[in-house]
Amino acid sequence: MAEHTQDWAKVKKSYLMVGIALFFCTGLTLALGLWAPFDVGPPGPTPGDYVIGLAVATFKASLVALIFMHLNHEKSLVYKTLVFTVLFFLSLMVLTLFTASDPILEQYDTYESTNGKLIEKL
């Protein structure tokens, strides 16, 4: 019985430490979003701000998944599935970024800005 109590105290301590880390990371995210000294680059949202915010959010999600969802004690098949999911997500994000250089969108913008008159000057 004493062994069980000791295990619970250990688990409770790890939950407390993860909770403190999550509160700290939430405060860090808030500071990054609101305070000018933590703003990366020019005022306003920039890609650097997004990268830092997503890095903090990824760290927080990893803590929740590993500790609260007990994924740190799972078998290798679960990890393989998670790696596949992350790679699939990243590939979808890369495909989304490719839309910024879409020539069809550029032609549509030109069509809209010329009121339907696509006149090319030679």
Q: Distance between CA 56 and CA 58 in Å, rounded? A: 5
pLDDT score recorded for residue 122: 47
pLDDT score recorded for residue 51: 85
Sign (positive/negative) of CA torsion 51, 53, 55, 61? negative
Write out pLDDT tens, residues 78-101: 778 888 999 999 999 888 888 777
Tokens of 94: 């890369």
CA 43 to chain centre: 21
Write out pLDDT tens, residues 4-57: 666 787 888 888 999 999 999 999 888 887 887 777 777 777 788 888 888 999
pLDDT score recorded for residue 91: 94
Cβ pair 68, 18 in contact under 8 A: yes
Cβ pair 72, 66 in contact under 8 A: yes
pLDDT band of 70, cuts 50, 70, 90: confident
Cβ pair 56, 32 in contact under 8 A: yes
